[in-house]
Amino acid sequence: MNFLYANTYYIAAFGLIFIGLYIVMAKRNLVKVIIGLSFVDSGINLLLISIGYIKGGTAPIFSRPDISPLKMVDPVPQALVLTAIVIGVAVLALALSLVVRLYQEYGTLDIRKIRGLKW
Amino acid sequence: MVNPVLLIAVPLGLAFAIPIFGLISKRLEKYIPVVGMLFNLVLSIYLIPKALAHPIVVSIGGWSPPFCINLFVGPVGVFFSAIIALVGLLVSIYALDYIKEGDTGKYHMLFLLLLAGAQGVVLTGDIFNLFVFYEILCISSYALVGFLRDRDGLEAAIKYLVQGSIGTGLVLTGIAFIYGLYGTLNMADIARHINSIKPAANFITLALIITGLGVEAAIFPMNAWLPDAHSSAPSSISAILSGIAIEVGVYAMARVIFTIFGATDILGFIALIGIITLLIGEMSALKQNNIKRMLAYSSTGQIGLIVFAFAIATSYGIEGGLFQILNHSLSKALLFLAAGYMIYRTGSMEISSLEGMGKKMPFTSLGFTIGAFSLVGLPPFAGFASKFLIVKAALIKGGGLYTCLIVLALFGTVIEGAYFFRVVQVLYFKGKGGTLARQEAPFAALLPFLVLVLLIVFIGVYPGPVEHVLNSAASEFIHRIAYIQGVLR
Amino acid sequence: MRKIIALILLAMLLWGISKPISNIPFGMNKINVAKHYITKDISETGAANVVTSVVVLYRGFDTLGEVTILFIAAIGLASILYLPKKRVPDNPPVEDSSLILRTGCRFLFPLILLFGTYIFVHGHLTPGGGFQGGAIIASGFALMSLSCKERILSTVRLGVVESLAGLTFVTVGLIGLATGGYFLLNFLPKGTLNMLFSAGIIPVIYVAIGFKVGSELAGIIGNLMERTQ
């Protein structure tokens, strides 16, 4: 029980990543697969941020003159996550445009029916 | 001394400026990639002697190395940069006449950004920066594969996108673990502290990153996207994907394995995966009737051979792998560009419809034939020197595993010879029929063919200068300590 | 069958991931590089928000790459949804929105733009920055497109704004290269802490990124609404 309480963020992050991977591998509707990709991105971003936490730390902004620099959380994972969120949004936009055109061409979103290219 | 950052910054700036040039005149847009890649080629050839003498470390922003992003321009970086610039220049000249429909301005922007991303991957010295430029390369290629908007292209693009995204997700998870374990993202800094963490943790992180990068490099369990994507894309994009994108994926894997982790004990397993990829690629290519799918499976096979050569890990082995990368880039680009115009003239991708092309498009068919012979490894061409080096390296390394694997690799070469000779036979020795008149491809396509053929023959006859550069490149991968000391004085 | 294989692969992945993660205890980060950034931030850059100085100055090359990726997504989306001129879809007639909706949206739109602009201009002083401000501006445009029928998004003009903003970023980097010898060198004065005009090139780059992201996301929404039925 103590283990669950101490590592809540890690468990949540890996839970999101595994749910996302399961959706991508097991579901048949193309929009559900894209939503699964979005789950994987969210999970990875949560993992990155929670690696940067320091117990008792505060936000890394010098807003008051008496904040000690040694009590701040790590700013580098926050910068990495900014980049990773934008990359996730970009891939999602491109994927949805492909899904819109595929629906116009094939009339269905079932990945077992979108199989023009054989061996 | 010109700053190597311009190799990445100038193509990015020109790509952002293309819509503004498009406001002035729509016809200017297709010449901008040619200008950008010509600048890159001149700069990277100028940097070759300087990088061979002493690797150049450039810091971005003026701070000193582990606290900033740095570029490491050594022999490996400048070699790859020159190949990317050369193949990019030739394909952009080819595309002046080949791309006519669809939103052509956006094609040229995406093309230039793909090449800028590739330049960024090979020159950087920071692992998160490698991930960002690797994503630039991947996302441009997803958009370009679906550029023609036909049923095949869209299906191939969505499959490529889903698999590629899962791959880059795994790479990002590996990078998160690296930051948690080491506290830094600079490649030399991680390499310096590599032994301070338990080997089990290192091993899983390395496995995640190699699996993620292996999706783009198209090694065995993760190459399901490649035949669809390379055969449904426009031919100039197939040439760039086969000639540049998958080799840059292999470079990224080699950089992570050799320089950052220094993991020499998993190399036997990697050699095995390489040979399995080679055999699957070659045997699948034999059964194909669609010429672009056949060339795509052949790319898979060649990547397997390159990965096997890197896994030998001696100086000859890595040199052979790098030489095979050069040979594959030039030959596969030539093959796809030639096939592009032949398909355009006959309107079909079946091999049987190419009957008699030897008489109707003589220069194009000659280009295709020389590319095929060089890829198989016949003597006066570049492929012979590279395959000879790989065989020599495997035999010198000895041991039961490598000798068995090199025999299987030679068997794969025989199969490769079989399917390429079948196509050459159809081109020249068959075909009474055919209602097409004799009409050659336009000049904008013949110029790249001529340059590639001359280069393949020249490198095959005088491999000396190339081997001198590759010798220094191989020692950069093998001697990690020199890399670390070069960056963090 | 696929579900069973998926579950087995995920179980193997879970077992594998437990090895490295047990070496990273939660809440005890070893701040190697970050200690330098936090302690030397005010003296080297003059920005109050340490995350901003990491994003723009210490790791500015990653930000350039990220801006490029969003650009690629916008033009990729436009090229895949491209329709040749003669086949523009005529949208089925939409019923008019009510008076309350139209007036409310016209009232809110300038306030949303102002809020977004405030966030990206003050990026070096408060949490926020170019990407966050740009996303808020784009949501204002989305509100207007969805609720009022007038199309105020012209995708050609948005494209030009996007290109100019991207060129500004690369040009600032090249000016740094020309004056100091390093790409993206901080060549403007640092100023005093917590003032608006401080921290060197950070406000300039964040204004450029704010315009770029706002126009890009608005362009994506405009393309999706114009080119599909």
pLDDT attached to residue C229: 54
Cα dihedral sign for B228, B233, B239, B241?
A: negative
Report yes or no: A44 at the B interface, CB cutoff 8 Å. yes
Residue closest to C200 by CA, chosen among C47, C58, C62: C47
State pTM to two decimals.
Answer: 0.95
pLDDT digits (tens, 9 = 90+) for B180-221: 998 889 998 898 888 888 888 888 999 999 999 999 888 888
Supply A17's token pair. 């990543």
* CA distances in angstroms from C149 to B320, C95, C142, C160, listed in the order given: 64, 9, 12, 24
Of the candidates A7, A75, A100, the beta carbon closest to that of C34 is on A75
- Are C2 and A93 a contacting pair at CB < 8 A? no
- Are B67 and C171 a contacting pair at CB < 8 A? no
Q: Which residue of A has its CA nearest to B151?
A: A105
Mean pLDDT of the B462-480 span:
88
Average pLDDT over chain B reads 89
Q: Is residue B465 scored above 70 in pLDDT?
A: yes
CB C142 within 8 A of CB C220: no
Question: Where residue C91 falls among pLDDT bands split at 50, 70, 90?
Answer: low
Q: Establish if C174 belongs to a structural domain.
A: yes
CB-neighbour burial class of residue B124 (10 A; exposed 0-12, middle 13-18, buried 19+): buried
Q: Lowest-confidence range among A36-50, B13-27, B115-129?
A: B13-27
Calpha distance C120→C86 (Å, rounded): 40
Mean pLDDT of the B125-139 span:
94
pLDDT attached to residue C144: 87
Mean pLDDT of the B158-167 span:
94
Mean pLDDT of the C19-26 span:
82
Q: Establish if C16 belongs to a structural domain.
A: no
Q: Establish if C183 belongs to a structural domain.
A: yes
Residues of A in contact with C73 (CB under 8 A): 89-91, 93-94
Count of CB atoms situated within 10 Å of the CB of A26: 17
Question: Where residue C87 falls among pLDDT bands split at 50, 70, 90?
Answer: low
CB B54 within 8 A of CB B113: no
pLDDT attached to residue B436: 62
Calpha distance C69→A87 (Å, rounded): 7
What residues does B403 pair with on adjacent strands?
A: none
Q: Which residue of A has its CA nearest to C31?
A: A74
Residue closest to B166 by CA, chosen among C171, C9, C34, A64: C9
In angstroms, how far apart are the furthest CA atoms of chain B? 71
Q: Is residue B129 scored above 90 in pLDDT?
A: yes
Mean pLDDT of the C71-78 span:
93
Question: Where residue C85 falls among pLDDT bands split at 50, 70, 90?
Answer: low
pLDDT attached to residue A119: 53
Calpha distance B205→B362 (Å, rounded): 52
Question: Where residue B83 falls among pLDDT bands split at 50, 70, 90?
Answer: very high
Average pLDDT over chain C reads 85
Contacts (Cβ under 8 Å, ≥6 apart) of C146: none
Residues 208-227 of C with CB under 8 A from A: 220, 224
Q: Is residue A86 scored above 70 in pLDDT?
A: yes
- Domain chopping of chain B, boundaries: 6-487
Instruction: Find how far residue B132's CA is from the centre of its chain.
Output: 18
**Interhelix angle B199-217/B246-254, nearest 10 degrees:** 170
Mean pLDDT of the B403-430 span:
87
Q: Is residue A64 scored above 80 in pLDDT?
A: no
Residue closest to B240 by CA, chosen among B116, B357, B130: B116
Q: Is residue C226 scored above 80 in pLDDT?
A: no
Question: Where residue A61 falls among pLDDT bands split at 50, 70, 90?
Answer: confident
Q: Which residue of C has its CA nearest to B189?
A: C33
CB B250 within 8 A of CB B310: yes
Classify B186 as helix, strand or coil: strand
Contacts (Cβ under 8 Å, ≥6 apart) of B22: B28, B29, B105
Q: Between B423 and A4, where is the model more confident? A: B423
**Interhelix angle B315-346/B362-376, nearest 10 degrees:** 150
Q: Is residue C73 scored above 90 in pLDDT?
A: yes
Containing domain of residue C205, as a range? 49-84+95-226
Report yes or no: C78 at the B interface, CB cutoff 8 Å. yes
Residues 187-206 of C with CB under 8 A from A: 193-194
Classify B348 as helix, strand or coil: coil
To which residue do tokens 């898979």 refer?
Answer: B300
Residues 6-45 of C with CB under 8 A from B: 16-17, 19-24, 29-34, 36-37, 44
Cβ burial C150-181 (10 Å sphere, 16+ → b, else e) = eeebebeebbebbbbbbbbbbebbbbbbeeee
- Give the number of domains in chain C: 1
Q: Is residue C86 scored above 60 in pLDDT?
A: no
> Helix-strand-coil percent breakdown of chain C, rounded to 5?
70, 0, 30
In angstroms, how far apart are the furthest CA atoms of chain C? 64
Q: Is residue C190 scored above 80 in pLDDT?
A: no
Q: Is residue A66 scored above 90 in pLDDT?
A: no
Q: Between C182 and C77, where is the model more confident? A: C77
If phi over 0 gives left and psi between -120 and 50 gives alpha, with beta otherwise, what is residue C46? left
Classify C191 as helix, strand or coil: coil
Pairing of strands B56-60, B69-73: antiparallel
pLDDT attached to residue B172: 95
Residue closest to C91 by CA, chosen among C149, C131, C143, C40: C149
CB B150 within 8 A of CB A116: no
Could you write out the three-class secondary structure of B285-324?
HHCCCEHHHHHHHHHHHHHHHHHHHHHHCCHHHHHHHHHH
How near does any CA of chain B get to the CA of C170, in Å?
Answer: 6
CB B245 within 8 A of CB B137: yes
Supply B200's token pair. 């089990």
* CA distances in angstroms from C121 to A71, C125, C204, listed in the order given: 27, 9, 9
Question: Where residue B379 falls among pLDDT bands split at 50, 70, 90?
Answer: confident
pLDDT attached to residue C125: 86
* CA distances in angstroms from B489 to B64, B166, B255, B483, listed in the order given: 10, 37, 20, 10
Supply B379's token pair. 């003597």
pLDDT digits (tens, 9 = 90+) for C124-170: 888 888 899 999 999 998 888 888 766 667 778 888 999 999 999 99
pLDDT attached to residue C67: 93
Four-CA torsion A53, A58, A60, A62, nearest 10 degrees: -170
Cα dihedral sign for A48, A50, A55, A61?
A: positive
CB B194 within 8 A of CB C38: no
Calpha distance C138→B67 (Å, rounded): 34
Q: Which residue of B has its CA nearest to A52?
A: B180
Calpha distance A119→B287 (Å, rounded): 9
Question: Where residue B342 falls among pLDDT bands split at 50, 70, 90?
Answer: confident
Chains touching B (at least 3 CB pairs under 8 A) are: A, C
pLDDT attached to residue B199: 84
Residues of C in contact with A87 (CB under 8 A): 66, 69
* CA distances in angstroms from B286 to B295, B422, B452, C46, C92, listed in the order given: 10, 10, 26, 64, 52
- Are B162 and A33 a contacting pair at CB < 8 A? yes
In sequence order, what E strands does chain A have? Answer: none
What ipTM score was computed for the predicted complex, to two decimals? 0.94
Q: Lowest-confidence range among B168-177, B245-254, B415-424?
A: B415-424
Classify C28 as helix, strand or coil: strand
Q: Is residue B332 scored above 90 in pLDDT?
A: yes
CB A111 within 8 A of CB A33: yes
Question: Where residue B105 falls among pLDDT bands split at 50, 70, 90?
Answer: confident
Mean pLDDT of the C86-114 span:
79
Q: Establish if C31 belongs to a structural domain.
A: no
Domains, in order of start, for chain A: 2-59+68-106 (1.10.287)
* CA distances in angstroms from C207 to A62, B85, C62, C216, listed in the order given: 22, 33, 17, 14
Q: Is residue C88 scored above 80 in pLDDT?
A: no
Report yes or no: C75 at the A interface, CB cutoff 8 Å. no
Supply B142's token pair. 């997803």
Q: Is residue B433 scored above 90 in pLDDT?
A: no
